[in-house]
């Protein structure tokens, strides 16, 4: 998994502003027969895997760790605030 420098700067500021401990990737249900990944600022849960990626503390739900190997998180600042995108997820057949 990679976090781009742009996303890193945005996440670092958000973690400080929200007084959150880490970025958490979690199982967010199924879409088209494949697991969906959710992204939030939250405390890690008991069965999460903990990592530091590009200086960002990241907790990953064990049910989706196999989906995050090639994942890239990018971000940009918009008029509505920071927006993040995930790339490198497996293709879904819908």
Give residue 74's domain range: 2-87
In a domain, 62, yes or no: yes
Model pLDDT for residues 15-58, shown as the tens digit of each residue:
999 999 999 999 988 877 677 899 999 999 999 999 999 999 99
In a domain, 6, yes or no: yes
Q: Which CATH number goes with the domain that contains 11?
A: 2.60.300.12
pLDDT at 92: 59
- Assign 3-state DSSP to the chain and report helix, strand, coil percentages, each to 5: 20, 50, 30
91 pLDDT tier (thresholds 50, 70, 90): low
Given a cut of 80, whether residue 89 has pLDDT beyond it is no
pLDDT at 15: 95
Residues 74-86, mean pLDDT to the nearest whole number: 95
- Domain tally, the chain: 1
In a domain, 92, yes or no: no
């Amino acid at each position: 998994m990679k976090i781009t420098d742009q996303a890193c700067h945005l996440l670092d500021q958000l973690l400080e502003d929200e007084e959150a401990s880490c970025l958490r990737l979690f199982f967010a249900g199924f879409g088209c027969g494949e697991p969906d990944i959710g992204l939030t600022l939250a405390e890690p849960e008991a069965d999460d895997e903990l990592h530091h990626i590009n200086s960002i503390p990241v907790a990953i739900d064990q049910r989706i760790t196999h989906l995050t190997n090639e994942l890239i998180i990018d971000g940009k600042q918009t008029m509505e605030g920071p927006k993040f995108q995930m790339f490198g997820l497996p293709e879904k057949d819908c």
